[in-house]
């Protein structure tokens, strides 16, 4: 399988030209309420692209439109407008795609784990003889082997989630949609799932869309991130790019004694006094620009007893997310 290295800001990604890319172009989904007849836009004019070998994470609060979007890409919901393309072509069939939806819906509870894998492979037209060895190996790789003779309804939540992922992978899809893949699983299982997702993208060149509320999962896996809120894609970029946007002129000041921000600052900066106990005052100031930081530093220097420390804050991904959805 051929592969090339491409660059997103500071992040190098291996691109697999013989795999399938996903393009979402101006997708909108509108629902009409039965009683009031009012329309609700669950997804509003969203566009993004995922290249082969790339993990794209979609972040958003509950009700933001993540699940609706992933179901439209999977062909389970028809968009009101816009296009979904696989390799620049309108999707006519979904043989290249598998999805793991929240709630372990990829599992038939009355079958054993091994029977589940054969069942879902057969549904997609893959004969038992073709996946026999692969099915056994997936159970071993994901630590489901010891439970393979039990009906799946007896498995724990974590086991069911791993089985759902194995069921999605058994047909060797080129595109993988993962909705909360590590939700409710233990630490050891989550680690195995994360490693499997990473290998699928980086070693096998699969195109992966991931939705989750778990920031550590995104931080460790995602090549690029899209933040969706109220149906709209409000920010997109590598994790480093998003952190730089949020923290560019954000500084934390610690000064000796009590310090009251000047009234004029309300028009210029966003100021948050974190602590003011008489001995020390801690403030977070969004200075908006390099010139703003210079002016704020001069003011604090003149009007405070002593500046103890000044540091540019290093926002984590969770803070970036919160600032984005709250309009920051």
Nearest to 172 by CA among 230, 238, 97, 105: 97
Rg (CA), the chain: 24
Give the number of residues written for the chain.
Answer: 328
Beta-carbon-side half-sphere exposure of residue 166 (alpha carbons within 13 Å)? 31
Under DSSP, the state recorded for 290 is H
What pLDDT, in 10s, does the model give residues 252-282? Answer: 999 999 898 998 888 888 888 888 887 899 9
Average pLDDT over residues 136-151: 83
Instruction: Tell me the C-alpha distance between 177 and 84, whole Å.
Output: 14
pLDDT in tens, 154-196: 888 888 888 999 999 998 999 999 998 888 788 888 888 899 9
Q: Which residue, among 253, 243, 241, 228, has the nearest Cα to 308 in the 3D structure?
A: 253
Cα separation of 235 and 204, whole Å?
28
Phi and psi at 72, nearest 5°, equal -70, -40
Q: How far apart are CA 84 and CA 48, in angstroms?
A: 10
Other residues' Cβ atoms within 10 Å of the Cβ of residue 294: 11
DSSP for residue 145: G
CA distances from 72 to 61, 81, 88 (A): 18, 11, 17
pLDDT greater than 90 at residue 197 = yes
- Three-class SS state of 132: helix
Nearest partner of 245 among 326, 310, 319, judged by Cα: 319
Q: What is the DSSP string of 9-71?
A: TTEEEEE-TTS--EEEEEEEEEEE-TTT--EEEEEEEEEEEE-TT-EEEEE--TTSSHHHHHH
pLDDT at 276: 81
pLDDT tens per residue across span 51-102: 999 999 999 888 889 989 999 999 999 999 999 999 888 887 778 899 998 7
Alpha-carbon distance 24 to 95, whole Å? 18
- The DSSP annotation for 151-165 comes to -GGGS-HHHHHHHHH
DSSP at 146: G
Q: Is the pLDDT of residue 286 over 80?
A: yes
> Please, what is the end-to-end C-alpha distance for the chain in angstroms?
43
Q: Quick one: which of 205, 232, 112, 214 has its CA closest to 163?
A: 112
Task: Reply yes or no on whether the pLDDT at 106 is more than 80.
Answer: no
Kindly state the tokens that stand for 65. Answer: 């439109």
Measure the CA–CA gap between 4 and 16, rounded to whole angstroms: 6
Global pTM value: 0.75
């Amino acid at each position: 399988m051929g592969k090339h290295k491409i660059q997103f800001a500071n992040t190098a990604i291996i691109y697999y030209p013989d795999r399938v890319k996903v393009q979402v172009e101006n997708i909108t989904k509108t629902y009409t309420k039965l009683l009031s007849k009012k329309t609700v836009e669950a997804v509003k004019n969203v566009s993004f692209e995922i290249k082969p070998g790339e993990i794209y994470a979609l972040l958003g609060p509950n009700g933001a439109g993540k699940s609706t979007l992933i179901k439209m890409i999977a062909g389970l919901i028809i968009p009101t407008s816009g296009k979904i393309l696989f390799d620049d072509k309108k999707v006519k069939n979904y043989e290249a795609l598998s999805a793991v939806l929240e709630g372990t819906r990829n599992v038939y509870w009355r079958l054993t784990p091994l029977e589940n894998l054969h069942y879902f492979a057969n549904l997609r037209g893959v004969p038992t003889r073709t996946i026999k060895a692969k099915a056994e190996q997936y159970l071993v790789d994901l630590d489901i082997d010891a439970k393979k003779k039990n009906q799946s309804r007896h498995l724990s939540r974590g086991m069911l989630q791993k089985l759902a992922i194995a069921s999605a992978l058994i047909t060797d899809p080129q595109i993988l949609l993962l909705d909360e893949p590590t939700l409710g699983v233990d630490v050891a299982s989550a680690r195995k799932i994360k490693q499997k997702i990473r290998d699928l993208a980086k070693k096998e060149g699969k195109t992966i869309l991931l939705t989750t509320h778990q920031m550590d999962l995104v931080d460790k896996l995602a090549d690029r991130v899209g933040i969706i809120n109220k149906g709209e894609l409000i920010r997109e970029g590598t994790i480093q790019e998003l952190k730089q946007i949020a923290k560019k002129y954000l500084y934390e000041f610690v000064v000796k004694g009590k310090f009251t921000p000047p009234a004029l600052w309300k028009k210029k900066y966003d100021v948050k006094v974190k602590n003011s106990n008489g001995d020390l005052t801690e403030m977070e100031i969004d200075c908006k620009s390099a010139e703003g930081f210079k002016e704020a530093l001069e003011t604090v220097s003149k009007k405070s007893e002593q500046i103890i420390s000044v540091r540019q804050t290093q926002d984590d991904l969770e803070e970036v997310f919160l600032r984005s959805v709250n309009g920051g």
